[in-house]
């Protein structure tokens, strides 16, 4: 069965990649694209999309089985309302979310199907499991997470870096209170049971994440590098296909992998 998908924020940094992933997947049809800026016929033609597809948020949510969103935290409130109203599945890859956004996603999951992942790459989500396993062996090592992204990325640390920290913290029974985001403001000796975060911004880097486990006389580094955005858009389309066959609820990559 072919899944009908729509792409939110189609003129954004992920838009072109999502279009290509949707067009190249034999199991999906793109039936809608929309953006905060108008989507005109010339855009559709240049993107290789038919002029008949929906180009508004309302039309896209009504026509699609699944809407894929990589836009902004602010848009999430409106998108979840539309997803519930139209019984449309929603795949969210937006980062920079906080507790109120997750509550909205969980509430929406009571009425429709919702999937959230700060990183849609299958490799990165496998990396989370590798990080947990490594942490379980190196419980007495100091842990630092370093992430690097393009100059346009606004949130820091990245959602992927935070997810890495959360996975490791869960494995080691740490709390988020043990995350250290700013050593400049907290100038003191490093605590033995904290997880440090550092962010680098520059160039056009899609994403690079390194976890360093520091021992007294040795260190181990785990790194994942993204070479382009295709891994995120391909992953999001595969998630959309998977989500369409699930029951109502809020899902993550852990549900999909298991």
Q: Enumerate the active-site residues.
A: 149, 153
Distance, in Å, from the CA atom of 238 to the CA atom of 7, rounded to the nearest integer, reads 14
Do residues 210 and 223 lie in contact, with contact meaning Cβ atoms separated by under 8 Å?
yes
Q: Which helix (H) or strand (E) holds 171?
A: helix 159-172
DSSP labels for 209-234? Answer: EEEEEE-SS-EEEEEEEE-STHHHHH
Of 67, 9, 64, 63, nearest to 36 (Cα)? 9
- For residue 215, CA distances in Å to 47, 147, 193 come to 51, 21, 13
Cis upstream peptide for 72 (omega within 30°): no
């Amino acid at each position: 069965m072919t899944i009908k998908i729509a792409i939110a924020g189609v003129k954004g940094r992920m838009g072109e990649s999502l279009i290509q992933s949707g067009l190249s997947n034999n199991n999906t049809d793109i039936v809608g694209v929309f953006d905060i800026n108008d989507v005109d016929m010339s855009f559709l033609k240049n993107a290789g999309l038919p002029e008949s597809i929906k180009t508004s948020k309302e039309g896209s949510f009504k026509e699609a089985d699944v809407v894929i969103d990589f836009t902004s935290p602010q848009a999430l409130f409106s998108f979840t309302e539309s997803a519930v109203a139209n019984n449309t599945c929603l795949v969210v890859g937006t980062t920079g979310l906080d507790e109120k956004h997750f509550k909205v996603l969980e509430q929406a999951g009571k009425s429709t199907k919702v999937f959230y992942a700060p990183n849609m790459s299958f490799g990165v989500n496998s990396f989370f499991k590798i990080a947990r396993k490594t942490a379980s062996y190196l419980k007495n090592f100091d842990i630092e997470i370093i992430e690097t992204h393009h100059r346009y990325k606004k949130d820091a640390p990245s959602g992927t870096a935070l997810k890495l920290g959360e996975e490791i913290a869960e494995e080691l029974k740490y709390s988020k209170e043990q995350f250290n985001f700013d050593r400049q403001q907290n100038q003191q000796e490093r605590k033995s049971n904290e997880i440090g975060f550092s962010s680098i911004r520059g160039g056009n880097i899609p994403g690079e994440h390194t976890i360093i486990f520091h021992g007294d006389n040795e260190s181990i580094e785990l790194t994942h590098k993204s070479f382009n955005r295709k891994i995120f858009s391909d992953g999001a389309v595969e998630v959309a296909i998977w989500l369409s066959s699930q029951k109502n609820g809020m899902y993550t990559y852990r549900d999909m992998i298991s």
